[in-house]
Structure 1
Amino acid sequence: MSFSTTRAPRRAPAAALPFLTLLASALLLAGCASSRGLEPQLAATDADTLAIGRSLAADPLSAADFPRSDWWTAFGDPQLDALIDEALRDSPSLAAADARARSAQAQAGLADAQRKPTLGASARLSGVQLPETIAPEPIGGDFKASGILMLNFAWAPDLWGGQRAAFEAAAGQARAAEVDAQAARLTLSSNVARSYIALAQAFDAQDVATRETARATRLRDLARQRVDAGLDNQLQLRNADATIGIARQQAQAAQQQIDALRNALAALLGKGPDRGLDITRPQLLQAPAPQVPAVLPSELLGHRADVVAARWRVEAASRGVDAAKAAFKPSVNLSALVGLAAGNLSDLFGSDALLGFGGPAISLPIFDGGRLRAGLSQRDADYDLAVASYNQTLVQSLREVTDALQSARALDAQIDTVTGALDAARQAFELADTRYDAGIGNQLDVLAAQRPLFQLEQQRATLRAQRLSAAVDLDRALGGGLAPTAPTSLTQTHAGATTP
């Protein structure tokens, strides 16, 4: 009796000793698999260091606001408003962007589930009967049944924050996908507006060709009369016929462009080509005067969806680096299995049927052939790639704003110049035509005056379309009225930091 009482207190510490020894050994060996020397190389660019003042010196920043979410209404065409609303509602490209966002959200949910405890239940009924030719009685020839009910618990505590970092990385990617879906809407509305403007230009080109055909036809009729009267020869008549042919070809080309653009708009709406036949001639107003907010460039970060999405990807890559670093450290897994097991179903719920197993387990990578270091190196490269993409997106966004603003100003000046030249050419043509009618001038003078008139009318129609497109580009470059949720601060903790 005394022997059993003296040994009983020693058995519990003796059972725990191997686990404590294992834990101490693991901690001592923690330096065997090390992340030392691995770190990202790049840092995110500060937007305020990208100067734009001199480039916009001729167009100083104003107190203008960023575009509204329905920026296209400034063109004053109800049909355009309806087309963009229809595209945002029915386009398959937006459905694909939304599906990608939902997929990324599901991935974030899976990463979140990985860091939570799991509890499962199972029940099993099995039986066996061995033939007496293999096992004699009482084993052979008798059917033996068994039943098992179990609860299985498992949990890996997030001691170093690696699981949380993995979840936050997936969540960052999901937020980037959500912003990409918003960017897809801006891209779609911009494409509809640009195609609609091109349609307006095609109708204008058709009008110019029609007017030119009418002028050339009138000159040919006059030339026929003068030839019949013996006042002119066939040269003037053939010149007039050539001018009519060129004008008709231009009208035919414009009609082809109109048909193609109607088909393109129908496709953007997610509809068949017949939908394009219902699109009537655009009635666009003059493009609004170009203005950009005085808070550029820093405030642009929160308005452009592509910049915000790139920032989220930098945040996600940063948390991916943290998750990879945590894999170098010891991990603990807790597991427990509790159940009931019995050879007869009637005994399954008896006190003797209790089954239990469980306890903590610790693991630590020591020698893994460089797998963890390679994984961390890849995460570092992913971070650098995300930072480089963000920096490039930021530079490109400022370029697009500057290009759109400068183009709008330059096109306004060109339109004024061409309009003045067109007025002068129209007066010259009218004067030459009047002299020809009076018999003072000849048809060559009229044809010479007619040629620049046709060219300038076409040029002004093209410039007006380009000016409207520049307005679309500026609204898009300024974010198109979007307000996506951006990270509170761009992570720069990894760049240049010393990795333990």
Structure 2
Amino acid sequence: MTRLTARSLTLGALLFLAGCASMAPKYEKPAPPVPNAWPTGPSYKEGQAAKAEQKPLAEVPWQEFFLDPQLRKVIGIALNNNRDLRVAVLNMERFRALYQIQRADLLPQVNGNAGLSVQRTPDDLSNNGNGRTVHQYDVGVGISSYELDLFGRVRSLKDQALEEYLSTEQARRSVQITLVSQVATAYLALASDLDRLKLAKDTLANQQESYKLSNSRFQAGVASALDLQQAQTSVDAARVDIARFTTFVAQDMNALNLVVGSSVGSDLLPASLSENLTPIKDLAPGLPSDVLLARPDILQAEYLLRGANANIGAARAAFFPRITLTSSVGFGSDQLTGLFKPGNFAWSFAPRITVPIFEGGRNKANLQVAQVDRDIAVAQYEKAIQTAFREVADALAQQGTIDEQVSAQHSLTGATAETFRLSQARYQTGIDSYLNVLDAQRSLYAAQQNLITARLVRLSNQVTLYRVLGGGSK
């Protein structure tokens, strides 16, 4: 019994030591390869640093960013139905299960077993020349092929699996943020094309009235045939735009249904391009190091880098001996009724050590692969930061000038509307030809279309800032 206790203590000490070693290199986060401040200049607003009381955009739930009730419902439907997000969630569940499998290798697998074997010895092979049948009963518990992780191989593989699982959680967040922005972008595109279609229909109605007036003047001999044909071209141009924007609206609907994952009801469709779709007008992004390193795609890249770093430890540990234990305790007897008698107690303890002697350079090559994988992960991590910096800088550059563009376009639209009104008055009094009216009308129509485009760009810029600044995904 004393010898058994000593073996138990020795086994416990080995199990304790198995979790204390790791040959993975110490992880050091690479410095962000981007400037410490956002670009400045005429295209950017002043004071881009976040105010102390301002909540970072990454902590703002999308429900607080998008206030339009219909758009919020559409986004909610997309989060429930979109297949890309569903795949991301399933991938996360898969890697969580893989991590649990890898973590289980750190602990011994204890199995219970019970068996019966019956063997018939023939007469010619028996010692006394008389054949006999032998029954053997056994029952017990045991540990099968448990590796003592003295050099951290199993623990490094477990750490790698954990980092990969954590990266899938960030991938899910990234997919969700992208999905929310895609739904909002598709919703805005549909709203803008509906506005363009309405404008084209209103223009057609006005042009038809102008054509009737020109036709009456032509019949009365006041206007020329040229004026009448010019009025007809305006009518036909408006008809072409109606057909074109009708197609665009249908395509926008198809795009919205695709990203949502189901057909969007007519009661949830936008009526026009509302300025109240997003509430945050002036976003202060804060410092690049604070914003970029909190983006889920960059966190995903960092977790993969940490996983590649942990894998080096497993590759290093392959150069050292591997110790496995197989043990069991139980009872055995040739009679079922005598199975649990004190004298029938049995045990076995079989440690095995495997020392790599010649493996054709396999372990060295595996270590080199692991180190190169780590270097690749570093480059991918740094590239993700650089890409994110460029995306935010581009969005901020557009934000810095879009308000001025909308204001200027609004003023231009008002001026062209007044020009059109004056040209109509001069034509009706016979001072100018219809060509001036036609030019003024075309300028007004183009200005109105460009105003819709500018408003769309301003709203889309806010959606882009929500995405590139790592908007909240709750």
TM-score for both structures, normalised by structure 1:
0.81
| Counterpart-to-counterpart distance in 1, 2:121 and 2:227 | 115
| Counterpart-to-counterpart distance in 1, 2:128 and 2:261 | 77
Question: Given the alignment, which residue of 23, 43, 47 partners 2:32?
Answer: 47
What is residue 82 of structure 1 aligned with on the other side?
73
RMSD in angstroms over aligned alpha carbons? Answer: 3.0
Per the TM alignment, residue 148 of structure 1 is displaced from its structure 2 partner at its CA by 2.6
Question: Given the alignment, which residue of 126, 130, 135 partners 1:145?
Answer: 135
What is residue 414 of structure 1 aligned with on the other side?
405
Q: Any gaps of 5 or more consecutive residues in structure 2?
A: 4-22
Moved more, 117-126 or 56-65: 56-65
What is residue 275 of structure 2 aligned with on the other side?
285
Deviations 1:311-334 (CA, angstroms, capped at 9, x unpaired):
111111111111211221223222
DSSP 3-state at the match of 2:265: helix
Per the TM alignment, residue 447 of structure 1 is displaced from its structure 2 partner at its CA by 0.6
| Counterpart-to-counterpart distance in 1, 2:342 and 2:465 | 78
| Counterpart-to-counterpart distance in 1, 2:84 and 2:130 | 68
| Counterpart-to-counterpart distance in 2, 1:138 and 1:350 | 31
- Equivalent residues in 2 for 1:188-207 (5 A)? 188-207=179-198
Partner letter of residue 214 of structure 2?
A
| Counterpart-to-counterpart distance in 2, 1:229 and 1:132 | 133
What is residue 309 of structure 1 aligned with on the other side?
300
Given the superposition, is the C-alpha separation of residues 380 and 144 from structure 1 closer, same or farther in structure 2, using an over 3 Å criterion? same
Q: Number of residue pairs matched?
A: 444
| Counterpart-to-counterpart distance in 2, 1:299 and 1:192 | 27
% identity of equivalent residues: 28
8 A contact 2:195–2:273 mirrored in 1: no
Per the TM alignment, residue 391 of structure 1 is displaced from its structure 2 partner at its CA by 0.4
| Counterpart-to-counterpart distance in 2, 1:328 and 1:121 | 34
8 A contact 1:147–1:348 mirrored in 2: yes
DSSP 3-state at the match of 1:156: strand
What is residue 493 of structure 1 aligned with on the other side?
none
Question: Given the alignment, which residue of 325, 334, 344 partners 2:316?
Answer: 325
> Is structure 2 residue 210 aligned with structure 1 residue 223?
no
| Counterpart-to-counterpart distance in 1, 2:291 and 2:108 | 42
Moved more, 301-310 or 87-96: 87-96
Per the TM alignment, residue 359 of structure 1 is displaced from its structure 2 partner at its CA by 3.4
Q: Any gaps of 5 or more consecutive residues in structure 1?
A: 1-11, 13-34, 484-500
8 A contact 2:49–2:285 mirrored in 1: yes
Partner letter of residue 90 of structure 2?
A
Deviations 1:266-319 (CA, angstroms, capped at 9, x unpaired):
333322x3636752424521664343233x111124431111111111111111
| Counterpart-to-counterpart distance in 1, 2:212 and 2:404 | 39
8 A contact 1:39–1:377 mirrored in 2: no
Given the superposition, is the C-alpha separation of residues 118 and 56 from structure 1 closer, same or farther in structure 2, using an over 3 Å criterion? farther
| Counterpart-to-counterpart distance in 2, 1:434 and 1:139 | 131
Given the superposition, is the C-alpha separation of residues 74 and 440 from structure 1 closer, same or farther in structure 2, using an over 3 Å criterion? farther
8 A contact 2:423–2:440 mirrored in 1: yes
8 A contact 2:419–2:440 mirrored in 1: yes
- Equivalent residues in 2 for 1:286-435 (5 A)? 288-294=280-286, 296-351=287-342, 353-435=344-426
Partner letter of residue 138 of structure 2?
I
> Is structure 2 residue 430 aligned with structure 1 residue 449?
no
DSSP 3-state at the match of 2:359: coil
8 A contact 2:148–2:324 mirrored in 1: yes
Partner letter of residue 153 of structure 1?
I
What is residue 205 of structure 2 aligned with on the other side?
214
Given the superposition, is the C-alpha separation of residues 269 and 276 from structure 1 closer, same or farther in structure 2, using an over 3 Å criterion? farther
